[in-house]
Structure 1
Amino acid sequence: MHCFELHRGSLPLLVSLPHNGIEIPDDIRSSLVDEAQSAPDTDWHVDRLYDFAISLGASVLKPRYSRYVIDLNRPPDDASLYPGQNVTGLCPTIAFSGRPIYRDGKAPDSEVIIQRRALYWQPYHAALQTELHRLKLAHGRALLWEGHSIRPELPYLFEGRLPDFNLGTAEGRSFPDARLRAVEAVLATQSDYNWISNGRFKGGYITRHYADPQAGIHAFQLELAQSTYLDESMTVFDAVKAAPVQALIARMMDVALHVPD
């Protein structure tokens, strides 16, 4: 079963899009409440947003299945990434709205979660790890860029309105602070989008787990407000709105790759 798609590039850069998947197997879909069957918490069209990265020479990894099947950016033991805050789990049962995802009595039990982890989570992570290893062998270093997006207002998860660009480096543990300052300088040259570093989103499991700065492997998460590149419904890609966002991300990537630590 092919549960991900990997494009291998020539740069020491891997773009991972773990919440881009939209498919839900029929047996799982039938257990979801009606509003969850459209997977509203998808990182809509981030693969299209990042299609420029392939032409730059980046590797790109994206899943086939929805985060409602399993969340690829959560730890396999489902430990909370943000203790004390509302979060969603490895096999989410609560949507970003705070409402249930599953019909009564249909939420996955521990055995089902183990099965899904083997079927969907492990293959994606094996591919991610293998590609990072390939890039490290080829270049002596690698940058893992985690591409995410989210609706800018979600009271269940955070107060107020999210900034447009949310940079996460696990408080400096996954990406050098000097290089982060250089990426921030790119954002500081423009006034169309606001931004924050290590705010509500500091980097998920993938950013935290795969970063190994001592070995030359860095990880950086960008959580975009979906209002920056989608239409007003925040489900339809808006190419005109997206173009300057893509150009800005490309500049950020260039700096992230080439500025010394």
Structure 2
Amino acid sequence: MQLITYLPGNSALVLDSPHSGVVYPPDFLYTCETSILRKAEDTHVEKLYDFAPGLGAHWIEAHFPRSYLDANRNTTELDVSLLDEPWPDPVAIDPVVLSKVRLGKGLIWRTTDDGLPIYQRSLSVEEVMHRIEHCWKPYHAAVAEAIDAAHAGHGYSLHVNCHSMPAIASSHATNFPGEKHADFVVGDRDGSTAIPALSQRVCAHLTALGYRVAYNHPYKGVELVRRYSDPASQRHSIQLEINRKLYMNEETLELTAGFDTLKTHLRSLVEMLLKTDPRQL
């Protein structure tokens, strides 16, 4: 069972999609309805960017679902109430991190975005360790390898962490339930994972295409942009959220007529980034 794809590129641009996986491992053993659980996926994001490797971008994609293991979380962001025995490793104590864990959105999800329980059982330490070993570690290793290669080859790296978001925030998805989302959200953790000039260039490009763009709200970026960025060393990471209403039916998960236009616009964004040297901004 292939759980990760890594396609090396020859440019300074790295794209990764940690949440578009649809391969549900047999040891998941969830009890909620699959149709509800699938709404946790960043559905079709990998299709929106499938042109990128052909342009020279590095591409990493998770095939396991985020509800099985969320690669955009630290391994310390674990809801220990899920377990049938004590967790042997450190767990997060940061209040911001804990707010997501309390929503059921830690490393291993406890609930769906609507607050429905995913399991009617406790998980063992062994099975959580298995998920970390076979999903989290290889995914993060691939992202780190791609960024290192991009930086070594060009003196800088541009990393875009690719996501999608519902048109309206669900009750247990963020700390802003019911919020109507913009078309795009560009996140750089308040300028700490990429120089603001680069983030603003992305915002300006999308705005010029007619989209409504938000900056660092309600999504600032999480573990993948935090862990692998260092703007002072020319390692820049941005989280990019796309509103699903632009390209799909959120109930049926089917693509809509907007998909092709959006994909064309994303290609123009990627082409712009391929020509951007952050050292010149």
TM-score, reference length from structure 2: 0.83
What is the correspondence of 1:240-255 to structure 2 with a 5 Å cutoff? 240-255=257-272
Question: Contact 2:60 / 2:143 at 8 angstroms: preserved in 1?
Answer: yes
Separation in structure 2 between the aligned mates of residue 161 and residue 94 of structure 1, nearest angstrom: 21
SS state at 1:155 partner: coil
**2:43 counterpart residue number:** 44
How far apart are residue 187 of structure 1 and its match?
2.4
**2:83 counterpart residue number:** none
Unaligned 5+ segments in structure 1 are none
Aligned residue-pair number: 256
Instruction: Render the CA deviation track for 1:70-119: whole Å, top value 9, x for unaligned.
Output: 0000011114755546461101011111111112xx24244432221112
Separation in structure 1 between the aligned mates of residue 154 and residue 18 of structure 2, nearest angstrom: 24
How far apart are residue 2 of structure 1 and its match?
3.7
Identity rate of aligned residues, in percent?
Answer: 26
What is the aligned-residue RMSD (CA, Å)? 2.1
**1:64 counterpart residue number:** 63
Is 2:166 aligned against 1:151? yes
How far apart are residue 51 of structure 1 and its match?
1.0
Is 2:26 aligned against 1:8? no
- Output the amino acid matched with 2:43: W
Closer/same/farther in 2, CA of residues 232 and 74 from structure 1, 3 Å limit:
closer
**1:167 counterpart residue number:** 186
Question: Contact 2:104 / 2:112 at 8 angstroms: preserved in 1?
Answer: no
**1:217 counterpart residue number:** 235
Separation in structure 1 between the aligned mates of residue 252 and residue 245 of structure 2, nearest angstrom: 6
Separation in structure 1 between the aligned mates of residue 5 and residue 126 of structure 2, nearest angstrom: 27
Question: Contact 1:15 / 1:61 at 8 angstroms: preserved in 2?
Answer: yes
Question: Contact 1:41 / 1:150 at 8 angstroms: preserved in 2?
Answer: no
- Output the amino acid matched with 2:235: I
Is 2:200 aligned against 1:181? yes
SS state at 2:22 partner: coil
Separation in structure 2 between the aligned mates of residue 92 and residue 36 of structure 1, nearest angstrom: 16
Unaligned 5+ segments in structure 2 are 78-91
Separation in structure 2 between the aligned mates of residue 233 and residue 35 of structure 1, nearest angstrom: 13
Separation in structure 2 between the aligned mates of residue 129 and residue 31 of structure 1, nearest angstrom: 31
- Output the amino acid matched with 2:141: A
**1:24 counterpart residue number:** 24
Separation in structure 2 between the aligned mates of residue 155 and residue 20 of structure 1, nearest angstrom: 18
- Output the amino acid matched with 1:179: L
- Output the amino acid matched with 1:121: W
- Output the amino acid matched with 1:48: K
Separation in structure 2 between the aligned mates of residue 213 and residue 237 of structure 1, nearest angstrom: 36
**1:197 counterpart residue number:** 215
Separation in structure 1 between the aligned mates of residue 37 and residue 170 of structure 2, nearest angstrom: 20
Q: 1:136 aligns with which of 151, 154, 159?
A: 151
Question: Contact 1:10 / 1:59 at 8 angstroms: preserved in 2?
Answer: yes
Separation in structure 2 between the aligned mates of residue 207 and residue 13 of structure 1, nearest angstrom: 14
**2:113 counterpart residue number:** 96
